[in-house]
């Protein structure tokens, strides 16, 4: 999944696919600012699921609050938000099981 406006810098760490869910009733702003040469910021609406690519060393900051002010309410290591990869063999087995039924 490519970041259209702010692609990850090329480095040896690679990237991970992450997911964050806004389980509150407030609009939140999700930011990653600790990776050099890269800045990530997205608005996350209540109940919305945000799926994104990030550096494994990234720290997601969650800012929430009212219109004119935002408070840093949480910091989450991106590795904690990483989605598990499904091995190609498992996907192949599932496809074979579906087509044989």
Q: What is the pLDDT of residues 1-23, one digit of tens each?
A: 444 456 666 665 688 999 999 99
pLDDT of residue 97: 60
For 15, other C-beta atoms within 10 Å of its C-beta total 19
pLDDT beyond 90 at 100:
no
List the one residue out of 21, 22, 29 whose CA is nearest residue 65: 29
pTM to 2 decimals?
0.71
Q: What is the pLDDT of residues 40-98, one digit of tens each?
A: 999 999 999 999 999 999 999 999 987 677 889 999 999 999 987 654 445 455 556 66
40 burial (CB, 10 Å; 0-12 / 13-18 / 19+) is: buried
Name the token pair of 34.
């600790």
Structural domains of the chain sorted by starting position, each given as residue range(s) with its CATH number in brackets: 16-100 (2.60.40)
Residue 99 has pLDDT above 90, yes or no: no
Q: Quick one: which of 68, 75, 67, 22 has its CA closest to 45?
A: 22
What is the per-residue pLDDT for 91?
45
């Amino acid at each position: 999944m490519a970041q259209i406006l702010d692609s990850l810098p090329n480095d040896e760490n690679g990237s991970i696919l992450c997911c964050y869910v806004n389980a509150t009733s407030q609009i939140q702003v999700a930011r990653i600012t600790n990776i050099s040469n890269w800045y990530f910021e997205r608005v996350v609406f209540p109940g919305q699921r945000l799926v994104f690519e990030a550096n494994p060393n990234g720290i997601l900051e969650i800012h929430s609050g009212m219109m004119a002010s935002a408070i840093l309410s949480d910091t989450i290591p991106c590795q904690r938000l990483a989605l598990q990869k499904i091995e190609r063999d498992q996907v192949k087995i599932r496809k074979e099981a579906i087509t044989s039924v």
